[in-house]
Every structure is written in structure tokens, then in C-alpha cells.
């Protein structure tokens, strides 16, 4: 089966820490697999930086969007599809 | 007098050249705190007095001597240990840009230093015939000639007056050429780069021939319960240090870090709000600013965040060896809305805004409106006098800013603001403003709640009246869906009421990313010696917002003015995550008015009675 391939964009302190603006990653359609595969490229620490293992979900303090929509605003399961664009931000603010 | 207050207010009549010291009205500040609340309370007394003399509020000329300008601090301002209390609130009875109430807030050092000079607030009425500046040093106030300062830019004025005044804790708030020339979006700048930016308060100072207010002093702000305050302060400061936003995000990147996240949500207005997706956002982002231009950080007095950016453009036509900013809003207005993707030029344009005393939001938005008017062929070539106002033109952006300050060439039209400009050229629909105030950097087609805030903000298109973006995009204090109109009224009202408290405390809004209403109630109780609960504070905030609304009702604003530009209501977002969305304003407004107890944008008599507002 063809795995969905998506672009992950990193911002702010995450970009600084991992030294990349974006990476291309394949996954089985779930966010957890996507982040696991991204950590194979970016290092194991990346997984813990983004994912809350104990609660089995993306960390609450991350702004994690799929095609511009925050996953916290999705109703039901999220399926990652081919060519989706993922953006991940640490906590930030301004005004 | 309660703790937190110096107990003295300076009333200046520039026409009669008199200065009177009055006691801070204790009963009034118990009901309105200070800062914005004090100014709104005082304005209402002025309007009653004017009406008794047969002067109708709607007839008050914003640039006439009858306009009143207030600089006010609050009980938190200048209290060491109150997180981020280095601010003041400035207000005018009427804004020359909008005709509504004038209102703006600024950081730096001026607010605390006004208190250290012995005063809680300054009320300025009348107008001088010749340029003057107001000097307040250790409780002694004096009006002095500013003939030798008239025409000087903000930086020179700040430096000259800082040198002139003796003593410790010196700070200057002043206008530049834009204020002197009555550009409607002129602002008041203090400490060279901090500004009470919005609603044209610089033009009010210019109309009064008041070049500057310099303050200096060594008095300390009294605190009613110092031991209790120290304990609460320690806890609050710890919360702020540990908070990922106030402890890391804002210190590292400043406000410009928002460019990418708002663009990702499809809400970063581009080309005068034709869309909410900027293809060049990365080039003007906070990350790029930090990587390429940032040289140091700057914090306001008493601030542990330090979001201010010291930057430099090292080479090229827009070279500046040292400047401050730009902030998120300035980058967006001068860059995003104008489609200028050259951060060098944006930094230069922002520097000019500080140097000449212009609000970058209204400035950039007016230039963007002019660019759209021009590209659609609505501006006769001879009016432009060679200014090539096309989207993306960096050189034209920078030239347009200084031309506005000096009102030369096409600058004489730009200086009127986008509403008047677009009316002159027959297309008022291209002004992206509410009540005449240009909206800031969030497209409400992608962030619905902020649309309700823009529409119902008393001063006009404003985000810091009630920053629902905090919940809708950033998830603070809790995440709500930006594309859903339902339930936004509750949030808009809560943010607006709490913001009134913050602006009357007077403190920095950024503290609220880590601190809540309870923290404010505890801090203020210990400072003043009053027992304030969360409900008490929100009630004070609601009282201030409603009295401010009563004032603008008197100028003729009502529910019909609580609206948005047609583009946002009638033109679906063409792309991005909010593609196809418009703002369902009427639906949100209906719910909002119900919650507010307003009828067609006017507080009901029951609501005023409930809030104990005596008219």
C-alpha cells in the first residue's frame, strides 16, 4: 500500500532546535506514526517534544495544524493524507 | 489615599496656561481603578459640563481646544514586583481619525516615571498658541516654550529633553512632525520607540501645540500590604517565568513570531485584505527577523518578558545601524498588507514611524488601501506626484511614510487615514476600517471572534480591546475553534471586560498569557488594601466598557456602526484553511448584545443601573 507522504514544517524554537524548516515524512495515516517517522530523521527527542506518550496524543502545549487547521478543532479521528501540510509550533503569542 | 496611588492629579489648561493639582478621587478610582477607567470617568464629567453649557458632544472638534487629552496610570503602574507594570494609558475625548473616543496604551518607562514624579494622571485641556512642553520633576509642574523643539523628530526631542531635565528616572513622551502636521494617524512616542499608537493622539497633541511631556522623580508608590504583596508577586513572577509563552516564546522571538502561525491559519491579511494567505510570510516572519536582524532585546520598566527587539539593517538602501522593532502588527501593516516582502524596507518604514511619530498599523493599512485604489485605476496620476503605489513596492512604502508625516505630495491624502482617503477617491469600501480605525493583523473570516471584537470595540477596529485570538489560535486560556461563530460573544465580552481591567491597572496585556483575573484581584487587593474578588474586577471592567460606550453613543455611534467592511462580510475568503468563509457578524452580534444588555449598540437603562453607572 502506498503510504501518505506529507510535509512537516517546524517553527520558532522547534526550528531552532532541530535546525530544519521542513521535512518530508511518510506515515500510515496516523499522527503518532507520522511523528515516530519524523523522529527517525530528527532524532528521538523530537517524539517527546511533540507527543505525550502517557496520554497517547499530541502534547497540549503544541499548536499542531493539518492544512492550517489546529487538530484540537477537529471532530473525530484525524487521518493524514498524501500531500497534507503539517505545521508544528511551540507555545507562542504576541499581539 | 489607598495604596497604589500617588494621590495627585495634574490638570493643565493650555489656553489659560494654568496648572492645578487636584486630589485623586478615591471614590471614583474604587469604581474605575485608574488608567483607562479614570479617563473614561473623567471624560463623562467633561461631557456633562459641556452639555450644561450647550455644547453638544457630537460637535466637539477633535482638533479643537475643547478636546481633552489624558495621560493616566493605575494602581499597579510603577509598583516593583507587579509583573509588567511599566505602562500608561492615554486617551482623548475624541479621536481626530475616527470621531469616536481616542485611546492608546504604551510601555517603556514613562508611566512609572510619571508616578515617581508624584502624579497618577495628567488632564490636559485647551490649546496653546505657541509650542510648549510640560515638565514635571519631583512634583513640580511647569509649562515651557518648545519653539526650539517644534519640527524636531521624536529621537531628537527625547534626547534633548532628557538631557535638559535633572534628576533620576527621566522619560519623555512627545510627538514628531506627523503630530505637528496633524496627520490623523499620528501617535505619541515615549522613550524613543514605545508608542501610544492608535487613534491619532499625536494629532491631538499637535493641535494643542503640546510638543512633549517630560517626567522625572524619585517618589515611591505606596503599597497597602507590602508583605502580602511580596508573597503574591513572587508567585505571579514564578508563573510568568515558567509559562512557555511569557518565559520563553515572547522573550526569544518577540511578537513577530505570530506571522507564521496566523498565516498558517489563513488569517494574515494580504494586499489590503484581498486574501488571508501571504505567500511570502516566511520572508517577513519573526524567525527571519531573529536570524537576520536581531541584535538585542529590550524590556519595559518592571518587565521580565522583554519582548522588545533591537534590530539593524547592516547594508543596502534601507540601512539602519540601530532601531527597535518591528512588532508583529507593524510588520504586517507595513509589509503584509502592502505585499512588501523586503524586511529591510519594512524595518526602515517602521523606524520612520517611530522617528516621525506615526501609528504603523493605520499608516501601513492606509498605504495598502492607496495601493489597491491605484492598481484599480481610481487615483489620477497627477495626484500621486510620481509615487509608484503598487503592491510590493518597497521604495514607495518608505517614501509614503515620510511624505505622510510631512504631508507633502500624495502624503497629504494619506495623512487623512484610509477611510477619508477611500471616500475621496469614491471607493469607501476599500478602507479596511471599523468606525474609521484601520483593523489590525487578523482576518476575521479565518478567526471569527476577533471580527466581533473589531465590530464592537468602542475605539474602532482594534484587537487589544479583546484579544480573542488568544483562545481561537493560541489556545490561551483554552482552545476554541476560530471558524465557528457560535459562542464567540461570551469570549469577546470576557476579553473586553478583563482588558479594561488591565488597561486601568495599568499593566501589560502580555502578562495575561500567564496570569488570570484571580491573580490580578490578589495583586490589586494587596496593593490597594481593598478586598477585590474576580467578580469585582470583571464588574469594574464591564462598568468601564459600558460608560465608554455611553460616551461614543453621544457622538452618534450606535449598532449600525458596530460593523465590518463589506469585504469581510460579503466576499468569501478565496484560499487557505478558511476558504469560502465570511464573517457571520449579525449572528454573533445578536448574541453579544443580549449578553451585554445593549439595544442596537446602546446600553439599556437596566444595564446601567445594574452596573451603578450614574448618568
Q: What is the dihedral of CA B130, B131, B134, B140, to 10 degrees?
A: -40
Residues A42/A20, Cβ–Cβ less than 8 Å: yes
Inform me whether the C-beta atom of residue A75 falls under 8 Å from chain B C-beta atoms: no
- Nearest residue of chain B to residue A89 (CA atoms): B261
> In Å, what is the CA distance from B56 to each residue of B13, B39, B48, B50, B318?
21, 19, 10, 7, 48
Q: Do B248 and A89 touch (CB under 8 A)?
A: no
Of the partner residues A13, A15, A70, the one whose CB lies closest to the CB of residue B248: A13
Q: Do B258 and A94 touch (CB under 8 A)?
A: yes
Instruction: Report the C-alpha gap between B97 and B205 in whole angstroms.
Output: 13
Q: Do A68 and B479 touch (CB under 8 A)?
A: no
Instruction: Report the C-alpha gap between A69 and B578 in whole angstroms.
Output: 9
Residues with Cβ within 8 Å of residue B442, at least 6 apart in sequence: B262, B267, B268, B269, B450, B463, B469
pLDDT of residue A57: 95
Of the partner residues B255, B282, B479, the one whose CB lies closest to the CB of residue A94: B255
pLDDT digits (tens, 9 = 90+) for B462-477: 999 999 999 999 999 9
Give first-to-last CA distance, chain A, whole Å: 45
What CATH code is assigned to A5-89?
3.10.20.30
Q: E strands of B16-161, at which residues?
A: 18-23, 69-72, 88-92, 102-106, 121-125, 132-137, 140-145
Write down the domain spans for chain A.
5-89
Residue among B432, B466, B474, B431 at smallest CA distance from B449: B466
Instruction: Report the C-alpha gap between B5 and B8 in whole angstroms.
Output: 8
pLDDT of residue B167: 82
Examine the pLDDT at B284 and tell me if it is beyond 90. Answer: yes
Q: Is B407 helix (H, G, I), strand (E, B) or coil?
A: coil
| Partner B, chain A 29-58, Cβ-Cβ below 8 Å | none
pLDDT of residue A1: 60
Tell me the mean pLDDT in the region B99-120: 98
Residue among B167, B160, B190 at smallest CA distance from B87: B190
Sheet strand arrangement including A22-26: A22-26, A5-10, A85-89, A63-66, A69-70
pLDDT of residue A42: 97
Residues B403/B397, Cβ–Cβ less than 8 Å: no
pLDDT digits (tens, 9 = 90+) for B408-447: 999 999 999 999 999 999 999 999 999 999 999 999 999 9
Domains of chain B as residue ranges with CATH: 8-216 (3.60.9.10), 255-437 (1.10.569.10), 443-610 (1.10.599.10)
B interface test, pick of A7, A10, A95 with most B CB neighbours within 10 Å: A95
- Nearest residue of chain A to residue B266 (CA atoms): A68
ipTM above 0.85, yes or no: yes
pLDDT of residue B615: 86
Q: E strands of B325-471, at which residues?
A: 433-434, 437-438
Preceding peptide of B606 cis, ω within 30°: no
Residues B464/B499, Cβ–Cβ less than 8 Å: yes
Chain B residues lying within 8 Å of A13, measured CB to CB: 248-249, 252-253
Q: Do A95 and B469 touch (CB under 8 A)?
A: yes
Chain B residues lying within 8 Å of A69, measured CB to CB: 577
Q: Do A69 and B577 touch (CB under 8 A)?
A: yes
pLDDT digits (tens, 9 = 90+) for B600-613: 999 999 999 999 99
Instruction: Report the C-alpha gap between B188 and B134 in whole angstroms.
Output: 14
Strand B8-13 to B121-125 pairing? parallel
Examine the pLDDT at B22 and tell me if it is beyond 70. Answer: yes
Inform me whether the C-beta atom of residue B215 falls under 8 Å from chain A C-beta atoms: no
Inform me whether the C-beta atom of residue A67 falls under 8 Å from chain B C-beta atoms: yes
Number of CB pairs, chain A paired with chain B, less than 8 A apart: 96
Helix or strand run (H / E) with residue B543? helix B534-554
pLDDT band at residue B166, thresholds of 50, 70 and 90? confident
Of the partner residues B470, B576, B577, the one whose CB lies closest to the CB of residue A93: B470
Cα of A81 to nearest chain B Cα, Å:
16
Residues B75/B528, Cβ–Cβ less than 8 Å: yes
Residue among B341, B328, B327, B338 at smallest CA distance from B279: B341
pLDDT band at residue B366, thresholds of 50, 70 and 90? very high
Instruction: Report the C-alpha gap between B193 and B269 in whole angstroms.
Output: 25
pLDDT digits (tens, 9 = 90+) for B342-352: 999 999 999 99
Examine the pLDDT at B55 and tell me if it is beyond 80. Answer: yes
The CA R_g of chain A, rounded to the nearest whole Å, is 13
Q: Is pLDDT larger for residue A93 or for residue B328?
A: B328
Q: Do A68 and B464 touch (CB under 8 A)?
A: no
- Nearest residue of chain A to residue B244 (CA atoms): A91
Tell me the mean pLDDT in the region B137-161: 97
| Partner A, chain B 276-315, Cβ-Cβ below 8 Å | 282, 286-287, 307
Instruction: Report the C-alpha gap between A91 and B481 in whole angstroms.
Output: 17
Of the partner residues B245, B481, B482, the one whose CB lies closest to the CB of residue A93: B245
Of the partner residues B243, B287, B307, the one whose CB lies closest to the CB of residue A11: B287
Residues with Cβ within 8 Å of residue B171, at least 6 apart in sequence: B108, B109, B110, B113, B114, B162, B190, B191, B214, B215, B216
Examine the pLDDT at B111 and tell me if it is beyond 90. Answer: yes
- In degrees and rounded to multiples of 5, residue B6 shows phi and psi of -85, -15
Residues pairing with B196 in the sheet: B188
pLDDT band at residue A76, thresholds of 50, 70 and 90? confident
Inform me whether the C-beta atom of residue A15 falls under 8 Å from chain B C-beta atoms: yes
- Nearest residue of chain A to residue B255 (CA atoms): A94
> In Å, what is the CA distance from B451 to each residue of B39, B236, B360, B485?
26, 32, 21, 10
Examine the pLDDT at B542 and tell me if it is beyond 80. Answer: yes
The CA R_g of chain B, rounded to the nearest whole Å, is 22
Instruction: Report the C-alpha gap between B550 and B544 in whole angstroms.
Output: 10
Instruction: Report the C-alpha gap between B93 and B63 in whole angstroms.
Output: 11
Q: E strands of B261-400, at which residues?
A: 294-298, 308-313, 320-324
pLDDT of residue A94: 86
Chain A residues lying within 8 Å of B327, measured CB to CB: 94
Q: Do B264 and A68 touch (CB under 8 A)?
A: yes
Tell me the mean pLDDT in the region B288-292: 95
Residue among B258, B283, B277, B401 at smallest CA distance from B342: B283
pLDDT of residue B163: 93
Q: Do B266 and A87 touch (CB under 8 A)?
A: no
Grid cell of B152 as nine digits: 524636531
Q: Is B318 helix (H, G, I), strand (E, B) or coil?
A: coil
Q: Do B473 and A70 touch (CB under 8 A)?
A: yes
Q: Do A94 and B475 touch (CB under 8 A)?
A: no
Q: Do A90 and B266 touch (CB under 8 A)?
A: no
Of the partner residues B265, B287, B513, the one whose CB lies closest to the CB of residue A93: B513
pLDDT band at residue B573, thresholds of 50, 70 and 90? very high
- Nearest residue of chain B to residue A64 (CA atoms): B261
Examine the pLDDT at B115 and tell me if it is beyond 80. Answer: yes
Of the partner residues A12, A61, A95, the one whose CB lies closest to the CB of residue B287: A12
Q: Is B90 helix (H, G, I), strand (E, B) or coil?
A: strand
Q: How is residue B578 annotated by DSSP?
A: T
> Mean pLDDT in chain B?
97
Backbone torsion region of residue B23, taken as left when φ is above 0, otherwise alpha when ψ lies between -120 and 50, otherwise beta: beta
pLDDT band at residue B364, thresholds of 50, 70 and 90? very high
Chain B residues lying within 8 Å of A87, measured CB to CB: 260-261, 264
Of the partner residues A61, A73, A95, the one whose CB lies closest to the CB of residue B244: A61
Q: Do A15 and B287 touch (CB under 8 A)?
A: yes
Q: Do B463 and A65 touch (CB under 8 A)?
A: no
Inform me whether the C-beta atom of residue A89 falls under 8 Å from chain B C-beta atoms: yes
DSSP assignment of B220-268:
----SSHHHHHHHHHHHHHHHHHSHIIIIIHHHH-GGGHHHHHHHTT-S
Tell me the mean pLDDT in the region B232-261: 95
pLDDT band at residue B1, thresholds of 50, 70 and 90? confident
Instruction: Report the C-alpha gap between B193 and B354 in whole angstroms.
Output: 6
Strand B69-72 to B121-125 pairing? antiparallel
pLDDT digits (tens, 9 = 90+) for B494-537: 999 999 999 999 999 999 999 999 999 999 999 999 999 999 99
Give the number of other Cβ atoms within 10 Å of residue B321's Cβ.
8
Amino acid at each position: 500500500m502506498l503510504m501518505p507522504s506529507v510535509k512537516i514544517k517546524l517553527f520558532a524554537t522547534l526550528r531552532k532546535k532541530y535546525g530544519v524548516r521542513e521535512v518530508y515524512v511518510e506515515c500510515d495515516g496516523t499522527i503518532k506514526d507520522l511523528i515516530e517517522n519524523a523522529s527517525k530523521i530528527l532524532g528521538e527527542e523530537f517524539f517527546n517534544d511533540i507527543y505525550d506518550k502517557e496520554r497517547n496524543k499530541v502534547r497540549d502545549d503544541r499548536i499542531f495544524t493539518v492544512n492550517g487547521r489546529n487538530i484540537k478543532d477537529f471532530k473525530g479521528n484525524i487521518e493524514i493524507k498524501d500531500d497534507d501540510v503539517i505545521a508544528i509550533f511551540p507555545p507562542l503569542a504576541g499581539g | 489615599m489607598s495604596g497604589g496611588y500617588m494621590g495627585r492629579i495634574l490638570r493643565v489648561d493650555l489656553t489659560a496656561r494654568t496648572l492645578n493639582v487636584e486630589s485623586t478621587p478615591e471614590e471614583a478610582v474604587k469604581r474605575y481603578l485608574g488608567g483607562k477607567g479614570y479617563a473614561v470617568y473623567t471624560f463623562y464629567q467633561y461631557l456633562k459640563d459641556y452639555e450644561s453649557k450647550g455644547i453638544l458632544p457630537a460637535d466637539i472638534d477633535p482638533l479643537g481646544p475643547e478636546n481633552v487629552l489624558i495621560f493616566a496610570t493605575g494602581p499597579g503602574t510603577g509598583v516593583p514586583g507587579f509583573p509588567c507594570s511599566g505602562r500608561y494609558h492615554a486617551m482623548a475625548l475624541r479621536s481626530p481619525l475616527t470621531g469616536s473616543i481616542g485611546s492608546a496604551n504604551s510601555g517603556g518607562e514613562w508611566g512609572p516615571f510619571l508616578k515617581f514624579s508624584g502624579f497618577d494622571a495628567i488632564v490636559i485641556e485647551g490649546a496653546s498658541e505657541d509650542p510648549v512642553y510640560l515638565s514635571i520633576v519631583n512634583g513640580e509642574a511647569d509649562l515651557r516654550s518648545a519653539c526650539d523643539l517644534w519640527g524636531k523628530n521624536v529621537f531628537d526631542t527625547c534626547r534633548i529633553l532628557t538631557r535638559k531635565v535633572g534628576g533620576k528616572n527621566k522619560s519623555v513622551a512627545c510627538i514628531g512632525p506627523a503630530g505637528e502636521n496633524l496627520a490623523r494617524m499620528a501617535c505619541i512616542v515615549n522613550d524613543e520607540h514605545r508608542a501610544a499608537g492608535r487613534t491619532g493622539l499625536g494629532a491631538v497633541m499637535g493641535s494643542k501645540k503640546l510638543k512633549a511631556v517630560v517626567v522625572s522623580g524619585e517618589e515611591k508608590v505606596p503599597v497597602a500590604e507590602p508583605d502580602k504583596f511580596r508573597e503574591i508577586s513572587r508567585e505571579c513572577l514564578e508563573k510568568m517565568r515558567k509559562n512557555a509563552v511569557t518565559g520563553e516564546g515572547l522573550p526569544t522571538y518577540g511578537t513577530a513570531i505570530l506571522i507564521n502561525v496566523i498565516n498558517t491559519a489563513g488569517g494574515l491579511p494580504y494586499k489590503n485584505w484581498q486574501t488571508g494567505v501571504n505567500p511570502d510570510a516566511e520572508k517577513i516572519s519573526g524567525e527571519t527577523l531573529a536570524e537576520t536582524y536581531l541584535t538585542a532585546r529590550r524590556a519595559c520598566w518592571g518587565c521580565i518578558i522583554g519582548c522588545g527587539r533591537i534590530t539593524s539593517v547592516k547594508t543596502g538602501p534601507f540601512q539602519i545601524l540601530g532601531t527597535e522593532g518591528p512588532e508583529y502588527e507593524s510588520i504586517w501593516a507595513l509589509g503584509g498588507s502592502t505585499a512588501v516582502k523586503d524586511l529591510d524596507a519594512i524595518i526602515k518604514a517602521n523606524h520612520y514611524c517611530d522617528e516621525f511619530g506615526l501609528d504603523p498599523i493605520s499608516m501601513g493599512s492606509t498605504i495598502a488601501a492607496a495601493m489597491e485604489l491605484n492598481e484599480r485605476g481610481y487615483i489620477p496620476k497627477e495626484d500621486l506626484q510620481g509615487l509608484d503605489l503598487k503592491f510590493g513596492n518597497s521604495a514607495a512604502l518608505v517614501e509614503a511614510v515620510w511624505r505622510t508625516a510631512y504631508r507633502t505630495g500624495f502624503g497629504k491624502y494619506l495623512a487623512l487615514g484610509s477611510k477619508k482617503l477611500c471616500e475621496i477617491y469614491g471607493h469607501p469600501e476599500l478602507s479596511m476600517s471599523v468606525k474609521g480605525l484601520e483593523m489590525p493583523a487578523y482576518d476575521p473570516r479565518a478567526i471569527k471572534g476577533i471580527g466581533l471584537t473589531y465590530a464592537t470595540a468602542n475605539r474602532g477596529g482594534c484587537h487589544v480591546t479583546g484579544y480573542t485570538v488568544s483562545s481561537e489560535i493560541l489556545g490561551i486560556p483554552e482552545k476554541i475553534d476560530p471558524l465557528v461563530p457560535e459562542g464567540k460573544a461570551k469570549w469577546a465580552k470576557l476579553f473586553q471586560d478583563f482588558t479594561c481591567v488591565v488597561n486601568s491597572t495599568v499593566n501589560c496585556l502580555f502578562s495575561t498569557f500567564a496570569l488570570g483575573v484571580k491573580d490580578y484581584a490578589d495583586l490589586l487587593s494587596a496593593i490597594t488594601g481593598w478586598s477585590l474578588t474576580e467578580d469585582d474586577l470583571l464588574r469594574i471592567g464591564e462598568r468601564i466598557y459600558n460608560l465608554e460606550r455611553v460616551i461614543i453613543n453621544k457622538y452618534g455611534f450606535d449598532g449600525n456602526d458596530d460593523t465590518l467592511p463589506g469585504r469581510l462580510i460579503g466576499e468569501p475568503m478565496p484560499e487557505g484553511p478558511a476558504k469560502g468563509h465570511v464573517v457571520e457578524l449579525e449572528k454573533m452580534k445578536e448574541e453579544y448584545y443580549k449578553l451585554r444588555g445593549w439595544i442596537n449598540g446602546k446600553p439599556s437603562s437596566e444595564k446601567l443601573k445594574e452596573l451603578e453607572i450614574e448618568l
